Amino acid sequence: MSYPRAIFNPISPAILFLAFGQTLVWACLYYIFPAMLLRWENALKWSKVDLTLGISLALFTSAVFSPVAGKIIDKDKGPLLLFISSIIGGSGLLLLSSIATIFQFYIIWLVIGFSIAGCLYEPCFALITKYRGQRARQDIIVITLIAGFASTICFPITHVIANMYDWRTTVAIFGFVVIFAAAPLLLIGSTIIKSQQLNTKTKNDTQYNTKNSSFLKNPTIYYLAICFSLLALVHGTVINHLLSILTERGYTTNISILAASCIGVMQVFGRLILLFSDRYLSNQNFNKIALLGMVTSIVFLLVSGSSNYMLFLFIILFGSTYGMISILRPTITKELLGYKNFGLKSGYLGGAYLIGTATAPYFGSLVWKYYGYQNLILILTILSIISWAVYLKAKQL
């Protein structure tokens, strides 16, 4: 069944619950950091390097616990994992709204990082892949089409609320949203998905799927881990530093916020391209093209200067190609590594991805401090090329 025809089939209410829940946890637990970074820097008088260490600690914590989350999903405890993790994340935001020291800032982001391991895309997609069989790919597309607007929601809303009140009120409101809206949505959706379990066996289940972690002997998983972690490093660095980069280049606050907000829209656009072009290209070839598109987008950012036209091209290509890749990662993992113990495999690769994401904010701050943003973008260009080349190697195995 092709994507265009399948997508117009009745969508399970459970998938919609998960989609809106994912939109909220991404907006509140992940995108709130880049959206608030400049405000924290101005209000708390802490350096950008010190602040970005907080989100890096959070995402490293998430990477450590990602394989544990995968095992929990394999043991059929996925709904409870998503619910408890989001409650912990929302509680962390409430605590964050009252911090006074950088040490407290770090401790709370460690707590939020623990929650991220169990409630964002990786565990959600692993759960869907486990229970939805051949419909998993379609369901993942539906979720990412909706949740792709998380950054579009987060950047302008934080800007408006913080201007009306202050950053502490903004963070507290986001914490309540996670606890009283996102967590129940994730629990209800995942519980229904589990109760309606479809046949998930595929012809690839006999490949690299013996007991426990024997799949780690397959070199493909290491190439994928390198590819995903470098991709995450590039994407995470750009997202967390985009407002600062654009401000340094002379763009107004409103233009910078608009540009950051449009990345989410472009992610949805990229997923729609994937949706309606499925019949023409395989997942693996699509991923190859999307990774090359990511390289090209960073080049546009490198040479854009203060040009609105080049910034426009960067936003379109960066957002749309990453939108494709976020859908393709779980399906590529399944195609190249098989279904058996998918939660654990997804956990390991999710951990690698999160290590890249975790490194990104602090890495970007350090390079900026000593070499400036232009050289940082040059380094990101090189890393994106390496990510693309490593994927080509994994595809050949």
| Per-domain residue ranges of the chain | 13-396
Q: Using CA atoms in the order 358, 186, 196, 205, what is the torsion angle rounded to 10 degrees? A: 0
What is the Cα–Cα distance from 262 to 155, expressed in whole angstroms?
10
Confidence at 210, pLDDT banded by 50, 70, 90: very low
Judged on CB neighbours under 10 Å (0-12, 13-18, 19+), 364 is buried
pLDDT for the residue numbered 66 = 82
Q: Is the dihedral of CA 2, 197, 353, 266 positive or negative?
A: positive
pLDDT of residue 2 exceeding 60: no
Write the class of the CATH domain 13-396. Answer: mainly alpha
Give the residue with greater pLDDT, 25 vs 255.
Answer: 25
DSSP string, 133-201: GGGHHHHHHHHHHHHTTHHHHHHHHHHHHHHHS-HHHHHHHHHHHIIIIIHHHHHHHHHHHHHTPPP--
Alpha-carbon Rg for the chain, nearest whole angstrom, is 20
- Torsion, CA 225, CA 260, CA 165, CA 56, rounded to 10: 20
Q: How confident is the model at residue 319 (pLDDT cuts 50, 70, 90)?
A: very high
pLDDT confidence tier of residue 368, bands split at 50, 70 and 90: very high
Q: What is the pLDDT of residues 71-120, one digit of tens each?
A: 899 889 999 999 999 999 999 999 999 999 999 999 999 999 999 999 99
Confidence of residue 334 (pLDDT cuts 50, 70, 90): confident
Question: Quick one: pLDDT at residue 209?
Answer: 44
Residue bearing tokens 């400049």: 38
284-312 confidence digits (pLDDT tens): 788 888 899 999 999 999 998 888 889 99
Q: What values do phi and psi take at 2, rounded to 5?
A: -80, 160
The encoded tokens of residue 187 equal 């629990």
- Rounded CA separation 33/39 (Å): 10
For the chain, the residue count is: 397
229-273 pLDDT tens trace: 999 999 999 999 999 999 999 898 889 999 999 998 999 999 888
Average pLDDT value for residue range 372-386: 96
